[in-house]
Structure 1
Amino acid sequence: MLLPTLCQTGILVKRYQRFLADVLLEDGQTLTVHCPNSGSMRGCSTPGSEVVISRSDNSKRKYAWTLEMVREQGVWIGVHTGRTNHLVREGLESGVIDDFGSIRMITPEVVVSEKSRLDFLLETEQGRVYLEVKNCSLVENGIAFFPDAVTTRGAKHIHELVRLAEAGFGAAVLFCVQRGDADRCKPAAHIDRVYAETVAWAMSQGVRFLAYRADVQPQAIRISQKMPFSLF
């Protein structure tokens, strides 16, 4: 996935109010940009870090620029969660993500109940598979963790997947690790114990949990390889 043509680098001054960040540009100007990430951004929002921002061509936006990635300890980290599904879809279509066999059709944003929708419905040779995608940007000691903050919404999606698995459909969660310094992935029980317990329960009910690492560079991001996922 190529990033927008209108991109530039800067230095992160601070991230605040969840969806805003101040960035210092090379010319000395400080720019307020949109931060498209609802998590804590633990480990990828240190003031003084190099960042990449992109400019939108939507004239109606209050903040024209968007935070795309942050560089921490020499590692580029994708923090724009709105791009995660696009990345995963590219990986599915290219065959880099090959856990579901031959895929005949991919439908995004599928309504599965009155108040819930999941990221993808995959029509495969083995039948329907419902897939929820999670962006993972937190790494500690070489381990990618999700979530980076307590998430009741994430647990709700898992309950929906268990219900679908019980109905005979395929059900899976895919963690997209948007940084290159992790070699495995696991639920962040030290941050959200309930979520980690929900993952363990869902695994016992037939929901699959997968992790893939993305190669994150200032010009482009792409899914590169599968990573081990474990509870412990």
Structure 2
Amino acid sequence: MKYTSVKVAKFIRRPNRFIAHVIVDNKEEIVHVKNTGRCREILQEGTTVILEEAKTSMRKTKYSIIAAYKGDVLINIDSQIPNMVVYHGIKEGKIKEIPYVTKLSKEIVYGNSRFDLYFETKDQKGFIEVKGVTLETEGIAMFPDAPTQRGCKHIYEMIKAVEEGYAGFIFFLIQMKGIKYFTPYELRDPDFAKALKLAIEKGVTVLAYDSIVYEDEITIGTPVEVRY
């Protein structure tokens, strides 16, 4: 996925989940943060961040933070992008576990949840729930970075879908390269880790892929080992 207009800036501070202060073009600017997660290990004072310029002048903020450097690693933190990356990855045949798709739809309601993707192949119908991963420690990617009741709800709904004959996938898109393996962050959210383990036992497929990240682009990468 390509961003049309980006700029490099320096991060100063983040007073709340939605906005941050940065230095861009030698002046301080208030910008939108395209991720309501904590991102504390990424968004630190002095960090180099990548901004996307708004396509409309009607917005209160001219820019949004879409990525940041953690050392030499560029991490895309745009929480709106993982669904699109996985969607196009499937369309382009780059996700080997979901091949030969004849139908692919976004935002499909099932039960009390809205899954990110619905797909059909010659042999099966199924749902895909996509989770963007930005938290990394010593090459280990983890999710979530904060407790998520909504995430647990999606997992239990996916289990129900599998029990009713659908294929079910929980897809963790790691928004960076250089990852050794992925694991649920049990210390941060034991309920999510428990739900994910149950899902695997019940036949839900859990996948993790990394991403190829540039300052103005992110695309699907390669499979990453899942440990649980």
- TM-score normalised by structure 2 residue count: 0.97
Asked if the contact 1:139/1:181 (under 8 Å) is kept, the reply is no
Kept in 2: contact 1:142–1:184 (CA 8 A): yes
User: Is the 2:31–2:64 contact (alpha carbons within 8 Å) kept by the matching residues of 1?
Assistant: yes
Spell out the pairing of 1:141-220 with structure 2 (5 A cutoff).
141-220=138-217
Partner of 1:16: 15
Shift of 1:81: 0.7
The C-alpha deviation readout for 1:79-119, integer Å capped at 9, x for no partner, is 01111111111111111112022101110000112x42010
Contact 1:128 1:170 in 2 (8 A): yes
For the pair 1:51 / 2:49, whether they are aligned, the reply is yes
Query: Distance in 2 between the 1:101 and 1:219 partners?
Result: 28
Shift of 1:42: 3.5
Q: Look up the match of 2:29.
A: 31
Q: Deviations over 1:155-208 (max 9, x none)?
A: 010011001000010001000001113121110001111110110111111111
Aligned twin of 1:116: 113
Residue-by-residue CA offset, 1:13-72 (whole Å, 9 max, x unaligned): 1123111111111x3211111112121114211111101101112232211211110001
Q: Would you say 1:3 and 2:8 are equivalent positions?
A: no
Separation in 2 of the partners of 1:17 and 1:218?
Answer: 24
Q: Distance in 2 between matches of 1:97 and 1:19?
A: 32
**2:9–2:50 Cα contact (<8 Å) kept:** yes
Aligned residues: 228
- Contact 1:39–1:149 under 8 Å retained in 2: yes
Give the secondary structure class of the aligned counterpart of 2:168.
Answer: strand
Question: In 1, are the aligned partners of 2:101 and 2:121 still within 8 Å (CA)?
Answer: yes
- Paired residues of 1:101 and 1:125 also in contact (CA < 8 A): no
One-letter amino acid of the counterpart of residue 12, structure 2: V
Q: Which amino acid aligns with 1:31?
A: E
| Counterpart contact for 2:90–2:99, Cα < 8 Å | no
Partner deviation per Cα, 1:119-141 (whole Å, 9 max, x = no partner) = 00011122111000000001112
| SS of residue matched to 2:14 | strand
Of 90, 104, 107, the match for 1:106: 104
Does residue 221 of structure 1 match 2:214?
A: no
Maintained 8 Å contact 1:210/1:229: yes
- 3-state SS of paired residue (1:230): coil
Aligned CA RMSD, in angstroms, stands at 1.1
Query: Is contact 1:42–1:138 with CA below 8 Å preserved after alignment?
Result: no
Q: TM-score, normalised by structure 1?
A: 0.95
Unmatched runs of 5 consecutive residues or more in structure 1: none
Amino acid at match of 1:76: L
Equivalent pair of 1:145/1:186 in contact (CA under 8 Å)? yes
Distance 1:204 1:42 in 2: 33
After the TM superposition, which residues 91-102 of structure 1 pair with which residues of structure 2 at under 5 Å, given as runs? 91-102=89-100
In 1, the alpha carbon distance for the partners of 2:178 and 2:99 equals: 28
Q: Return 5+ residue gaps in structure 2 as ranges.
A: none
